[in-house]
A and B are shown apart, each in its own frame.
Chain A
Amino acid sequence: MERVPITVTVNGQTVSAEVEPRMTLADFLRDELGLTGTKLGCEHGVCGSCTVLWDGAAVRSCLVLAAQADGAAITTIEGLATEGQLHPVQQAFWEAHALQCGFCTPGMILTAVALLSEDANPSEQAIREALSGNLCRCTGYQNIVRAVQLAAERLRSSS
C-alpha cells in the first residue's frame, strides 16, 4: 500500500513519518510514536477516550486519519504536564478524586482543557455538556465536574 508522508507537531516536537493512508491518528500516536496515553475505548467516536488536542481543539483521534494531521499541532496527555509540574486540570482531577480506573482520564482531561481555553468560567451545566461526549464508567461524573470547576477557579485566579 502506498504510504503518505506527513509532518506533524506532537507535544511540541516535529515528527515526520510515512503512514499507511488508512492508519488512524490514534494508532499513529500509539503504535508509531509510542504515546499510549491516548486510549481507545470504542473506535467509533462515541466514548471520547481517544480525545487529543488538534491546534487546541478537542478531536477524536480514532475518527481521523494520521494523513489528515499533516501540518497540525497535536497535544496528547503526555504533553500536558510541563517540567514535571502537573497541568492545573491534572492537579484538580487528582485532588477531586475525579478518576478511578483512569482509562477515560486522558480524554476527559484534554476535553476539559479545550473547554477552559474557550470559556474560563463555565457553568456547571456547560461543563456537563462539554463532557457529555466523554464516557466514564467508574466515577458517576460528579467528581469530574468538580475537578473542572476547581481547575477553572485556579486558572482564573492565576491569570
Chain B
Amino acid sequence: MSLQILPRGRWVGARVKRVEDPRFLTGEARYLADIQIPGTVHAAFVRSPYGHARIRRIDTSAARTVPGVLGVFTADDVAVLPPLASGLPIEGLKPTPQSVLAKEKVRFVGEAVAVVVAENRYVAEDAAELVEVDYEPLPAVTDAERAMAADAPLLHEDLGTNIVYQKTTTLGDIDAAFAQADRVFRRRFHTNRFVAAPMETRGCLSVYERASGQLTFYSSTQMPHMLRLFLALFLGIPEHKVRVISPEVGGAFGQKMTIYPEEVVIAYLGKVLGRPVKWVEDRRENLAAATHAKEQIIELEAAVRSDGKVLGLKARLIGDGGAYSFNTASALIEPLAAAGIIPGVYDIRAYQHEVIAVCTNKSPVGAFRAVGWTAAQTARELFFDEIARELGLDPAEFRRRNVITSDQFPYTTMTGMVYDSGSYRESLERALELVGYDELRRRQAELRQQGRYLGVGISLYVEPTAWGSEIALQAGFPFPSHDNATVTIDPTGKVRVAVSVHSHGQGHETTLAQVAAEILGVSIDDVVVEHGDTDRAPWGMGTYASRSAVIGGGMVALAAQEVREKLLRVASRLLEVAPEDLDIQDGTVFVKGAPDRSLSLFQVAFAAYLDGRVRAEGEEPLLSATKFYDPRATYSNGCLVTVCEVDSETGLVHLEKIVAVEDCGTMLNPMIVEGQVMGAIAQGIGGALYEAMIYDENGQLLTDTFLSYALPTATEVPELIIEHLETPSPVTIGGIKGIGEGGLLATPAAVAGAVLDAIWPAGRTIEQLPLTPERVLSALTAETGA
C-alpha cells in the first residue's frame, strides 16, 4: 500500500468551510429527540435514590393504573435480556455483570430500577413517580482506597472484593535506577471525576416491525455498527434485521461509545410493545447515570540525578471504576491507559507500574476524551514541575533535559509504544517563545514583590491517535478493529462517500469530502459523505480516540484511488490513450499535455454504467470501491503553556491566556483542527478548575444539575493562541495523525501547573483537582499563615 496516495492541493490542507453547517444554522438538523414517528410512546426510567441498597420489593400497581400508561417493567419483566459485561480479554480482570434493570441490589444513585412506558413523556414521568420501591439501604463506599480495605462494603459480594484488577509490571532495571539516583521524589495526586456532559443527552428510539421482524433502532451513539452487533446478540434478532441509525449527535466525547443498559431495554420494549418506544434522557439522568470519567489516585516516585535527568519512575494507579466494570473497556479504562502514558514524551528507561481497578458506589466510569491520559499527564507534569523546583531548575529546563529528541524517532517506550515521529522539543521551544516565557518569569518575580501571584504552567504531551488494532495493543487494550469506506461515482459523475466513522461535531462531511475531492479531481460540492446509518455506511467501529482523521482519511483515500483508476481505465478507452496519460481536474478527464482532448466526469461515468463497449473483459461496471484501513500506530504531540493570576484574597484563578502548539502531522483542514484543539482546551479548563462529580459518604450524588456541576462558559475561557507544527507521520496514509484529544489530555496539567506555580510553595500541599477557590485559598493560608 502506498502511503503517498494522498496529494495536497486544492482541497487537502485548505480551510474549507463546513458543508454540513447550513442545516445546523437553520434548525433543520434532526437529533434523536427531534425524530417524530407516528404512534411513538415514551419511556421514563425509575432510578435508585440510594448509592447502595437491597431491593426488597417493587410495587408497580399504582403506576399501571395511570391513564395512558402502556406498561411498567422491572428486572423480572426483562429477565430474557442477558447482563452486560466487559468482554476485554485481559487476564486477571474480574467481570461484574450488570443487569439491564437493577436486580436484587442497586449500586449507584441513578441506576435504572424500572421503566414506565406511556403515551407521552409527561404521563410517563407522572407514573414513574408512583412506582414504589422498597429499599434496604446498605453501607456505601465512594472512595477507591477505602473500597480496597478488607472491611469495606462489597458491591459485588460474589467476588469477595471490590478490587477487580491489580497487577504490577516492571520494565527495565528499576532497582538500579533508584540505586543510582541522587534524589528520590514522591507525590500523590487524586484527579477529579468529571464528565463529558455533551449538550445533547443520551437517547434512543426503537421501531420494530412485527411482520418482517425488522428492528430499526435510532440512538445517539458514536458507534452504530457496534451497537447493531450487540443489540442483535442481546435481543436474539438476526443482525441483518437490525438497522441502527445514529442521527445528528449533539456531542459525545466518548460518553456515547458504549452499549448502555437503557438502550438494550428500550430496543427490547419496542419489540415487545409493537409501538415505537422513545427515551430521551434528562440532564439529571445524564449526570447521574451516564458514564463518568477520569478519576484516579496516582502515586508517583522518581529516581532523579542532580542534573535533572530522570532515571526511573514508579507509578501506582488506582482507577475508581464506579459500580460496574463497565462494558466499553472495563474499569481498567482509566488506570491501564494512564499507566501506558506515564513516561510520556520523556526518555525514561526504567519504569514500574501497579495498576489497580476498584468498584465504588458511583456511576460507572467510561470513555471521555483522552481516557486515562488526562490523569496521567496531570500527575506527571505537576510532579515534574515540583521536582524541577526542588532541584533549583526551571520547569522548562527540566523538560529539556528529559525530553525525547527528534533524532530518536522511531522511539519505543518502556511500555511498548512506538512513537513514529514528532516535534517534542520543538513544540516546547515554540510555545515558550510564543508566550514570552523569559519575560513572564521576570514579571512573575516583580508581581510577587507586590504580593500578586502570577503563574506559568507547561504541559508537554504526546497523544496516541489513530485508534486501530496496533495502537490499541500498544496502549494495553488488545481489541482488534478495522474500518471501511465506500466511494462511488454515480452515472452522472457525482461522488458518494460512505464511511463507518461517525461524525458528531468533527466535520467529517467536509474533511472526508476534501480527501475524495482531492483524489478524484472534483469539487467538494460534487461529493456527499454519508455515515451513521448501518444500512448505508459500511462496517466499522465508529468514532472515538482521535481515529477518524487518520482512519477515515486513509480509507477514503484508498477507495477513492481505486475508483479513480477504474474511471481512468474507462476514459482511456473512450479517448484512446493509456490511463497513465490521463489526469482529472475540476471534474474533467483530460490527456496530459493535450487538455483539449477531454471528457467530463459525467460523460465517462455515464459510459461506464450504460455503455458496455467501454468495459474491458472481467471489469466491474460500477465505479465503486470499498476499502478498509487499520493503520499503524501514530502519535501526535504538542505543548501547552498557561498563564494565570491567582487572587490571594479569594483564591479565584484568572486565566490570562493559553498557548497551544500542536503537531498532528498532515492537516486535512486546519480550521477543523483548531476547533478540536480549542474545544478540548475548554473542557480541560473545566477539569482543572471547576468540574467535579461529588458524592457524599452515603453515595448520594451532590452534583446532579448544571448549577452544582459547573461547565466553563464564554467568560471562563481565555484567549487561546494556537500554532501548528506539521511533522507528517511516516507510517500512515498521507501522514495524517489526529488531534481530537490532545487539548483535554494536556490542559488540566497546564492550568493546574500555572496555579501551583503562582502560589508556590503553597502549591505543594494541593493534591486534588479541581483547583477550587477553597483549595487554593486553604493552601495559601496554610503557607503564609495569613
**In the complex, which residues of chain B have a beta carbon less than 8 angstroms from the beta carbon of A129?**
714-715
Measured CA separation A76–B505 after assembly (Å): 22
Measured CA separation A139–B672 after assembly (Å): 10
> What per-residue 1/0 map shows which CB atoms of A84-122 lie under 8 Å from chain B?
001000100111010111111110010000000000000
Query: Is A80 located at the chain interface by the 8 A CB criterion?
Result: yes
A36 touches B672 (CB 8 A): no
A137 touches B706 (CB 8 A): no
Measured CA separation A132–B253 after assembly (Å): 22
User: Which of B139-147, B321-329, B576-584, B675-683 forms contacts with chain A?
Assistant: B675-683
Query: Is A42 located at the chain interface by the 8 A CB criterion?
Result: yes
User: Which of B45-53, B195-203, B228-236, B598-606 forms contacts with chain A?
Assistant: B195-203
B200 touches A101 (CB 8 A): yes
A143 touches B250 (CB 8 A): no
Nearest residue (CB) in B for A127 is: B714
A41 touches B18 (CB 8 A): no
Which B22-62 residues sit within 8 Å CB-CB of chain A?
Answer: 22, 24-31, 33-34, 36
**In the complex, which residues of chain B have a beta carbon less than 8 angstroms from the beta carbon of A133?**
713
> Could you say which of B31, B507, B679, B717 has the most chain A C-beta atoms within 10 Å of its C-beta?
B679
Query: Is B251 located at the chain interface by the 8 A CB criterion?
Result: yes
Query: Is B652 located at the chain interface by the 8 A CB criterion?
Result: no
Pick the residue among B27, B196, B197, B713 that contacts A131 (CB under 8 A). B713
B27 touches A106 (CB 8 A): yes
Nearest residue (CB) in B for A131 is: B714
Nearest residue (CB) in B for A108 is: B714
B27 touches A38 (CB 8 A): yes
Q: What number of B residues sit within 8 Å (CB to CB) of A?
A: 54
**In the complex, which residues of chain A have a beta carbon less than 8 angstroms from the beta carbon of B29?**
37, 102
Which A33-57 residues sit within 8 Å CB-CB of chain B?
Answer: 34-44, 46-47, 49
B18 touches A142 (CB 8 A): no
Nearest residue (CB) in A for B710 is: A46
A47 touches B31 (CB 8 A): no
**In the complex, which residues of chain B have a beta carbon less than 8 angstroms from the beta carbon of A23?**
122
A20 touches B706 (CB 8 A): no
> What per-residue 1/0 map shows which CB atoms of A47-77 lie under 8 Å from chain B?
1010000000000000000000000000011
Pick the residue among B33, B36, B199, B720 that contacts A104 (CB under 8 A). B199
> Could you say which of A34, A36, A106 has the most chain B C-beta atoms within 10 Å of its C-beta?
A36
Nearest residue (CB) in A for B26 is: A81
**In the complex, which residues of chain B have a beta carbon less than 8 angstroms from the beta carbon of A10?**
none
Shortest CB-to-CB span from B28 to chain A, Å, is 7
Query: Is A15 located at the chain interface by the 8 A CB criterion?
Result: no
Measured CA separation A106–B674 after assembly (Å): 22
Nearest residue (CB) in A for B705 is: A44
Q: A97-B672, A99-B21 are in contact. Are A43 and B717 (CB under 8 A)?
A: no
Pick the residue among A37, A47, A137 that contacts B28 (CB under 8 A). A37
A94 touches B21 (CB 8 A): yes
Query: Is A25 located at the chain interface by the 8 A CB criterion?
Result: no
Q: A22-B122, A44-B283 are in contact. Are A132 and B715 (CB under 8 A)?
A: yes
Q: What number of A residues sit within 8 Å (CB to CB) of B?
A: 57
Pick the residue among A34, A41, A101, A102 that contacts B283 (CB under 8 A). A41
B27 touches A35 (CB 8 A): yes
Pick the residue among A49, A86, A94, A101 that contacts B505 (CB under 8 A). A101
B24 touches A99 (CB 8 A): yes
> Could you say which of B24, B27, B672 has the most chain A C-beta atoms within 10 Å of its C-beta?
B27
Nearest residue (CB) in B for A42 is: B283
Q: A44-B283, A94-B25 are in contact. Are A143 and B31 (CB under 8 A)?
A: no
A141 touches B713 (CB 8 A): yes
Pick the residue among A44, A94, A101 that contacts B250 (CB under 8 A). A101
Query: Is A4 located at the chain interface by the 8 A CB criterion?
Result: no
**In the complex, which residues of chain B have a beta carbon less than 8 angstroms from the beta carbon of A22?**
122
**In the complex, which residues of chain A have a beta carbon less than 8 angstroms from the beta carbon of B719?**
142
Shortest CB-to-CB span from A34 to chain B, Å, is 7
Query: Is A136 located at the chain interface by the 8 A CB criterion?
Result: yes
Measured CA separation A100–B196 after assembly (Å): 15
Pick the residue among A46, A99, A142 that contacts B717 (CB under 8 A). A142
Shortest CB-to-CB span from A132 to chain B, Å, is 4
Shortest CB-to-CB span from A91 to chain B, Å, is 8
B713 touches A36 (CB 8 A): no
Nearest residue (CB) in A for B196 is: A137
Query: Is A8 located at the chain interface by the 8 A CB criterion?
Result: no
Query: Is B129 located at the chain interface by the 8 A CB criterion?
Result: no
Nearest residue (CB) in B for A87 is: B25
A41 touches B199 (CB 8 A): yes
**In the complex, which residues of chain B have a beta carbon less than 8 angstroms from the beta carbon of A47?**
199, 283, 706
**In the complex, which residues of chain A have a beta carbon less than 8 angstroms from the beta carbon of B504?**
101
Which B186-232 residues sit within 8 Å CB-CB of chain A?
Answer: 196-201
Query: Is A140 located at the chain interface by the 8 A CB criterion?
Result: yes
> What per-residue 1/0 map shows which CB atoms of B572-598 lie under 8 Å from chain A?
000000000000000000000000000
Measured CA separation A23–B283 after assembly (Å): 18
Q: A94-B17, A137-B683 are in contact. Are A36 and B33 (CB under 8 A)?
A: yes
**In the complex, which residues of chain B have a beta carbon less than 8 angstroms from the beta carbon of A77?**
25-27
B715 touches A20 (CB 8 A): no
B198 touches A137 (CB 8 A): yes
Shortest CB-to-CB span from A123 to chain B, Å, is 13
Nearest residue (CB) in A for B28 is: A37
A105 touches B25 (CB 8 A): yes
**In the complex, which residues of chain A have a beta carbon less than 8 angstroms from the beta carbon of B680?**
140
Q: A41-B283, A46-B707, A135-B706 are in contact. Are A103 and B678 (CB under 8 A)?
A: no
Q: A36-B34, A43-B282, A94-B18 are in contact. Are A101 and B675 (CB under 8 A)?
A: no
Query: Is B522 located at the chain interface by the 8 A CB criterion?
Result: no
Other than the given A36-B31, A95-B17, 5 more pairs (CB < 8 A) read A37-B28, A41-B283, A99-B21, A102-B24, A137-B711
> Can you list 15 residue pairs at the A/B interface with Cβ under 8 Å?
A20-B122, A31-B36, A41-B250, A47-B706, A78-B26, A90-B25, A101-B250, A102-B24, A102-B25, A102-B250, A134-B713, A137-B199, A138-B199, A138-B505, A143-B678
B interface residues, Cβ below 8 angstroms from A: 17-18, 21-22, 24-31, 33-34, 36, 122, 196-201, 248-253, 282-283, 504-507, 671-672, 674-675, 678-683, 705-707, 711, 713-715, 717, 719-720
